[in-house]
Chains A and B, each alone.
Chain A
Amino acid sequence: MSSSRLLVTASPHLRGPASTPKIMWNVVGSLVPVVATAGYFFGFGALLVIAAATLGALLTEMVFGSKGSLGDGSAAITGLLLGLTLPPGFPLWMSFLGGVVAIAFGKLIFGGLGQNMFNPALLGRAFLQAAFPVAITTWPTGEEGWWNLSPTQASLPLMGAEVDTVTGATPLGLWKFERIATDAVDLLTGAIGGSAGETSAVVITICGGYLALRNFLNWRIPAGIFLTVFVLSGALWLIDAGRYPSPVFMLFSGGLMLGAWFMATDMVTSPVTSRGCWIFGAGIGALVVLIRNWGGLPEGVMYAILLMNAMVPYLNQWTQPRVFGTRLGEAAS
């Protein structure tokens, strides 16, 4: 039998060069400039926060994950993304805890990579937001020196800050509570307060664009998000420019750029069909506009993505393409 020239194998017979680790490490690579930008604007402290979150994620994957799952790079992505959503002066032990929760309860509890319903990094952040609502909305002013750490950062595990810190505000917070709009140029270059990854829209777009070009993310998702946010907030802005921020401000402030390019496009938690991706993106965009304008929190990208993550199984079901040779809605058996 072994000498037979005819090889009988199941499909697929042609394989693309992309593999899970390759895609994942590409994403990690594309996050490096974003992390570097965070370091540039917020100083050494921001890098420490990102490192702590990544360490938490990697250690958890190493201890509880299946053998060799550390090498596929997905835990590193989760840790980096989580770190990028946190304030630069965040206590390091909380950041580490977030990484642990993100991997353990965002991914491993569902059965590991590919099984999780929600984006693990955002789930970790949602946990931190619910657990430490004050710390996660304390933004440093960014006027300390590059090497200066925020006094809260070095606090011991389980302990809070011993001293009061000088805090700044995010563009979205300024708008929500004081109706002050931030200059668009600052938003584009990243010279603004906020989470470590809420910096330069330009850098994030270049990094995300690279992934989209390599086809490592579905461009329809960010496109759907940006279009919806632009159209909806544009309409609101035209109705009453004093009450609603301009669409440009909406697009480039807060975590929308990072969320749209890197978190909504997580392959595991986004729809598999193209039509599904459009609906998914539009849903996130609509929820972001809704939460930012009428919600209690200044920023809503996290909850918008998590809510739409929950819709993904339905989107996949509703947008199933027609099987060749059958009519729409007819079961292909």
Chain B
Amino acid sequence: MPRQTTPGQDLTRGIWRENPVLIQMLGLCPALAVTNTVVNSIAMGLATFFVLLCSSILVSTFRKLIPSEVRISTYILIIATFVTIADMTLEAVVPEVHKALGAFIALIVVNCMILGRQEAFASKNTVPRAIIDAVGTGIGFIIALLMMGSIREILGYGTFLGFPIFGSNYEPWIVFILPPGGFFTIGFILLALNWWERRKLERARAGEPPAGAAVERAA
């Protein structure tokens, strides 16, 4: 039996403590590939959020009907359905962004983060809880993508959401809009996070033991 968690824990777990990109290292492919501008990051984050939420609802609804032998392929089919919807919607509403994201919209199907939430949570929990979990994880994904997109756009173009912030004479760091810049940025963020976590741990060890340290992972 999985330990029960409160709805609040379900929500915040995905946003911070088990952030899909920054902690679990899932969904790194879109996080590295399409975060060269803030707009692309937001579009990618929202599309993934939509797919994750809808598939979680559907998988959770039919969790008792899906035979466990073919559950992965069923999840993939459900996810692919919503990816197609997201793909076509983006193409109709914001064609430029759709063009910039290219194949990476279709590749949401194979985003481990989404499949992971179906397998680990939605298929074992009620619909309301699956919704809360999907919202938390989706927000966590958007936050991570936004962090990367902001750093890369500010350094790589000298702009934020297209508005110049350093004046016209800014010398862009081209490397940050190229693929190596994605790896650099995620490396920077992980370095800072781990340094911060470790310092927190060391302070806790030096002082009193942290209160309520371990909240069990669901499933």
Q: How many residues of B contact A (CB 8 A)?
A: 12
The 10 A-B pairs of least Cβ separation, nearest first, read A160-B171, A130-B175, A131-B175, A131-B173, A159-B169, A160-B169, A158-B166, A131-B174, A133-B174, A159-B171
Distance in Å: Cβ of A24 to nearest Cβ of chain B:
27
A132 to B175, CA, bound (A): 8
With a CB–CB cut-off of 8 A, which chain B residues contact A94? 171
Interchain CB contact under 8 A, B171 and A132: yes
Interchain CB contact under 8 A, B173 and A132: yes
A306 to B3, CA, bound (A): 51
Distance in Å: Cβ of A150 to nearest Cβ of chain B:
15
Residues on B facing A (Cβ under 8 Å): 158, 166-167, 169-171, 173-176, 178, 180
With a CB–CB cut-off of 8 A, which chain B residues contact A158? 158, 166, 170-171
With a CB–CB cut-off of 8 A, which chain A residues contact B170? 158-160
A117 to B169, CA, bound (A): 36
With a CB–CB cut-off of 8 A, which chain B residues contact A160? 169-171
With a CB–CB cut-off of 8 A, which chain A residues contact B158? 158
Residues on A facing B (Cβ under 8 Å): 91, 94, 127, 130-133, 135, 155, 158-160, 162
A133 to B175, CA, bound (A): 9
Interchain CB contact under 8 A, B178 and A130: yes
A22 to B146, CA, bound (A): 48
A256 to B167, CA, bound (A): 39
Select the residue from B166, B167, B169, B171 with max chain A CB neighbours within 10 A: B171
| Chain B residue with Cβ nearest A93 | B171
A130 to B179, CA, bound (A): 11
Distance in Å: Cβ of B166 to nearest Cβ of chain A:
6
With a CB–CB cut-off of 8 A, which chain B residues contact A91? 171
Distance in Å: Cβ of A95 to nearest Cβ of chain B:
13
Interchain CB contact under 8 A, B175 and A127: yes
- The 25 sampled A-B contact pairs (Cβ below 8 Å) are A91-B171, A94-B171, A130-B174, A130-B175, A130-B178, A130-B180, A131-B173, A131-B174, A131-B175, A131-B176, A132-B171, A132-B173, A132-B174, A133-B174, A135-B171, A155-B171, A158-B158, A158-B170, A159-B166, A159-B167, A159-B169, A159-B170, A159-B171, A160-B169, A160-B170
With a CB–CB cut-off of 8 A, which chain A residues contact B174? 130-133
With a CB–CB cut-off of 8 A, which chain A residues contact B175? 127, 130-131
Distance in Å: Cβ of A44 to nearest Cβ of chain B:
23
